[in-house]
């Protein structure tokens, strides 16, 4: 019996992989994909210290490893039910019944995990197809050697299958900074906001962007994403609503039509992730379309000093209600409907605060009388407050005339940036950088750049920003955990 099972393992796993691929083919990178619930379970079950370690060590690679693990578990799980089907079929010497049973079980497991019968049916059929190929077509009495080799080949092919799938998914999903193409229901909403001044504002950002190769323009071309799950929720505007609950005098429900009917505003807002490296790329700016939250909140008549924002991906973040005073509910980004990856259909934007409280796929604002920990705070982070001031160095260009050009972005949340200084000798002598003209808005980054005649050898370029209150960027370096990176960015430059 033990040997029999051991021999089935590679084929059963191959059947599992086939089921996984079929699920992905039908569902894509959505919660209906059988790997998605396992991925999100793993992400939640992981202790905070492990998550933090993974973020600091691997960055978004940690999330990919989590996803790859989820894919293997999903394939294994489907493989187990395929095995049960095969063994049952063999026990009664009716392989066809075994095949049918494995299809049924695989379909049930997939449906149980995702609640998506369409993709689950495809999963069941794919699992059964591979099981049938092994159980029915395989000629009996094959030489021991050839079947052993066959098992090895099948096992290798399966591992390759899962890996390829996870790479394909990674390319489609994680690196996609602007979300998936809108589904038809999203396109239906394309014209739902009147964006008269959007082209003008985008032009303004374009014109004010400095001419420095290698840095993002003032409206980012690739806006970063940070998500607790590898698979984003798929919401549609008809079912979406935002409720204001908890310690309020009157609970309020706001629909998508309510929101888009309120008369839009367009605001430039910059986001930065508390978990990024000091000179990292998780800081970006966009033009967002939406409405201020103030009146909606006032209508509910809140009786507490804190709010918990909750989202469709089970994300939650808590902070003082005062921070919501100037917050914004965004449903558009750079003139388009808010992309799925950035929180479609509606996200919160909280000026000047770390990205983590800018909750995407927002569904509920719960007013609290007592403080509580949010998702990241439960894992040891302190990222609900205002951002640290930073000047980043993202481009070092050797110009044709022999000079060196250095540039980047500076950001200080709602404090604003008043000055960026640059040293080309490791911090002894400082000169003031050129800043891009400010964009309208209370929470927008700026670009900076300098050009200089290079000294003869290697030298260290250092950048530091001063916020509009006159406070110089913290010099003492610290890691991103738990409350965001500090220190001055330094780059060693070698003249060409």
Ligand X SMILES: Nc1nc2c(c(=O)[nH]1)N[C@H]1C(S)=C(S)[C@@H](COP(=O)(O)O)O[C@H]1N2
The verdict on 218 binding ligand X (CB under 6 A) reads no
The verdict on 225 binding ligand X (CB under 6 A) reads yes
Of 119 and 309, nearer to ligand X (C-beta) is 309
The verdict on 377 binding Mo ion (CB under 5 A) reads no
Distance in Å, CB of 285 to Mo ion, minimum: 15
The verdict on 356 binding Mo ion (CB under 5 A) reads yes
| 159 Cβ neighbours under 8 A, 6+ residues apart | none
Of 361, 411, 445, 448, which one interacts with ligand X (CB under 6 A)?
A: 361
Of 126, 244, 273, 410, which one interacts with Mo ion (CB under 5 A)?
A: 273
The verdict on 360 binding ligand X (CB under 6 A) reads yes
Stretch that binds Mo ion, among 78-86, 217-225, 272-280, 446-454 (CB under 5 A): 272-280
Of 356 and 443, nearer to ligand X (C-beta) is 356
Three-class secondary structure of residue 128 per DSSP? helix
Distance in Å, CB of 334 to ligand X, minimum: 12
Distance in Å, CB of 39 to ligand X, minimum: 13
The entry of ligand X, Mo ion, none that residue 254 binds, CB within 5 to 8 Å by partner kind: none
Query: How many binding residues for ligand X (CB under 6 A)?
Result: 18
| 238 Cβ neighbours under 8 A, 6+ residues apart | 185, 256
The verdict on 364 binding ligand X (CB under 6 A) reads no
CA atoms within 13 A on the CB side of 294: 4
Of 95 and 355, nearer to Mo ion (C-beta) is 355
Nearest to 349 by CA among 444, 439, 277, 250: 444
CA 157 to chain centroid, in Å, comes to: 30
Q: How far apart are CA 181 and CA 496, in angstroms?
A: 43
Across the beta sheet with 489-493, what order do the strands follow?
A: 431-432, 417-423, 459-467, 489-493
Distance in Å, CB of 253 to ligand X, minimum: 19
The entry of ligand X, Mo ion, none that residue 271 binds, CB within 5 to 8 Å by partner kind: ligand X
| 318 Cβ neighbours under 8 A, 6+ residues apart | 306, 307, 308, 309, 368, 371, 372, 373, 374, 377, 384
Q: Which residue is nearest to ligand X (CB)?
A: 355
Q: Which of residues 436-455 bind ligand X (CB under 6 A)?
A: none
The conformation of residue 178, written as its DSSP 8-state character, comes to: T
Q: How far apart are CA 494 and CA 459, in angstroms?
A: 7
| 243 Cβ neighbours under 8 A, 6+ residues apart | 251, 252, 253, 254, 363, 364, 365
Stretch that binds ligand X, among 2-10, 91-99, 324-332, 358-366 (CB under 6 A): 358-366
Give the Cα-Cα-Cα angle 423, 426, 429 (nearest 5 degrees). Answer: 45
The residues with which 431 forms a beta bridge, in sequence order, are 422
The entry of ligand X, Mo ion, none that residue 80 binds, CB within 5 to 8 Å by partner kind: none
The verdict on 228 binding ligand X (CB under 6 A) reads yes
The entry of Mo ion, ligand X, none that residue 174 binds, CB within 5 to 8 Å by partner kind: none
Of 31 and 355, nearer to Mo ion (C-beta) is 355
DSSP secondary structure string, 31-88? TTSTHHHHHHHHHHHS-HHHHHHHHHHHTHHHHHHHHHHHHHHHHHHHHHHHHHHHHH
Q: How far apart are CA 329 and CA 319, in angstroms?
A: 16
The verdict on 273 binding ligand X (CB under 6 A) reads yes
The verdict on 226 binding Mo ion (CB under 5 A) reads yes
| Residues of this chain that bind Mo ion (CB under 5 A) | 226, 273, 355-356
| Residues of this chain that bind ligand X (CB under 6 A) | 223-228, 271, 273, 311, 313, 315, 342, 355-356, 358-361
């Amino acid at each position: 019996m033990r040997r029999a099972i051991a021999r089935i393992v590679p084929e059963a796993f191959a059947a599992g992989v086939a089921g996984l691929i079929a699920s992905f083919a039908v569902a894509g990178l959505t919660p209906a994909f059988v790997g998605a619930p396992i991925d999100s379970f793993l992400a939640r079950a992981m202790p905070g210290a492990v998550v933090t370690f993974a973020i600091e060590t691997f960055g978004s690679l940690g999330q990919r490893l989590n996803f790859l693990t989820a894919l293997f578990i999903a394939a294994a799980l489907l493989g187990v039910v395929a095995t049960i089907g095969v063994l049952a079929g063999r026990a009664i010497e009716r392989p066809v019944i075994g095949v049918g049973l494995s299809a049924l079980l695989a379909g049930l497991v997939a449906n149980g995990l995702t609640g998506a019968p369409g993709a689950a049916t495809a999963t069941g059929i794919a699992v059964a197809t591979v099981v049938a190929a092994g159980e029915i077509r395989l000629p009996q009495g094959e030489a021991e050697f050839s079947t052993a080799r066959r098992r090895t080949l099948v096992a290798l092919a399966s591992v390759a299958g899962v890996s390829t799938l996870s790479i394909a998914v990674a390319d489609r999903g994680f690196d996609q900074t602007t979300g998936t193409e809108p589904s038809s229901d999203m396109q239906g909403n394309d014209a739902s906001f009147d964006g008269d001044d959007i082209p003008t504002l985008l032009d303004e950002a374009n014109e004010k962007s400095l001419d420095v190769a290698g840095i993002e323009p003032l409206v980012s071309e690739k806006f970063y994403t940070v998500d607790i799950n590898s698979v984003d929720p798929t919401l549609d505007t008809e079912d979406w609503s935002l409720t204001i609950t908890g310690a309020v005098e009157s609970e309020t429900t706001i629909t998508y039509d309510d929101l888009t009917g309120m008369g839009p505003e367009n605001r430039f807002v910059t986001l930065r992730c508390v978990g990024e490296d000091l000179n990292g790329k998780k800081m970006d700016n966009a033009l967002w379309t939406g409405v201020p939250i103030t009146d909606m909140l006032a209508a509910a008549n809140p009786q507490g000093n804190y709010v918990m924002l909750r989202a469709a991906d089970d994300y939650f973040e808590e902070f003082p209600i005062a921070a919501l005073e100037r917050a914004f509910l965004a449903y558009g980004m750079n003139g388009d409907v808010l992309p799925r990856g950035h929180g479609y259909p509606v996200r919160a934007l909280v000026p000047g605060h770390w990205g983590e409280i800018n909750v995407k796929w927002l569904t509920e604002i719960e007013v609290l009388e007592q403080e509580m920990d949010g998702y990241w705070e439960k894992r040891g982070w302190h990222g609900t407050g205002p951002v640290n001031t930073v000047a980043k160095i993202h481009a070092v260009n050797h110009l044709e005339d022999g000079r060196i050009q250095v540039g980047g972005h500076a950001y200080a949340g709602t404090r604003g940036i008043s000055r960026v200084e640059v040293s080309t000798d490791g911090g002894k002598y400082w000169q003031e950088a050129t800043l891009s003209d400010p964009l309208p808005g209370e929470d927008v980054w700026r670009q900076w750049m300098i050009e200089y005649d290079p000294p003869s050898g290697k030298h260290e370029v250092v950048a530091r920003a001063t916020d509009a209150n006159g406070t110089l960027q913290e010099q003492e370096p610290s890691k991103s955990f738990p409350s965001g990176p500090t220190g001055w960015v330094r780059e060693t430059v070698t003249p060409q």
